[in-house]
Amino acid sequence: MNWLAHVHLSPPDVEFQLGNLLADVLRREPRGVMGPSFEAGRCCHAAIDRFTDTHPIVHRSKMRIIPSHRRYAGILVDMFYDHFLAKNWEQFHESTLRDFTRQFQAEATSRRHQLPEDGADLIEYLVREDRLYSYRKLDGIEAALQRMSLRLTARWKKTVRMQDAVAPVRLHGEEMEKDFLEFFPELMAYVASGEWWSARSARDAA
């Protein structure tokens, strides 16, 4: 799952939300005091990714990506699922998407000074571009994919254009949206069950 989903799947605790959001970004531990909620958020992120990556509905969505871009299917489905979450937000959260993203941005900004540079830079970018709220439209997803593609093009020394996968979803995205609407309640139930934390505790005790 992508950024919006990770924040949504967190309790209303900014440390947990930041841990869940930044788990794949941080190259070193945060400065200053971060409570146990931050580490719990990081564990939750990993559990969400494991659940998602092995789920048959998500596999079905990956096969809907146009063949020329299927090597990026994991990234693309994560991004499109964030769009479908934003589009159908009221089905999954009592706050509006606008209120939710504004509150998270304000609270995350207040904790930027405790984060390593890579995490602080991501928060600054998300707030400056209003990125999470932008996912409600496919234009926002396209812009994010274009930015990502430019980074990968520079890294791999060959042209990457993941944004080209958006056009087919504009025309025929209904089936992938149905996949998301079937999958996301299962993911929410899994996170709410605490099963992922029980498994982590059992591993630590072994």
Angle at 43 between CA 103 and CA 199, to 5 degrees: 135
Q: Which domain holds residue 114?
A: 3-205
Q: Report, as an integer, the average pLDDT of 81-98.
A: 98
Closest by alpha carbon to 27, among 119, 125, 124, 112? 119
- 202 pLDDT exceeds 80? no
**Residue range 19-58, pLDDT digits in tens:** 999 999 887 766 666 789 999 999 999 999 999 999 999 9
Full-model pTM:
0.93
CB 125 within 8 A of CB 131: yes
Number of structural domains the chain divides into? 1
Q: What pLDDT score does 26 carry?
A: 85
pLDDT at 196: 87
Of the candidates 132, 108, 107, 115, the one whose C-alpha atom is nearest the C-alpha of residue 26 is 115
CA nearest to 24, candidates 62, 78, 71, 68: 78
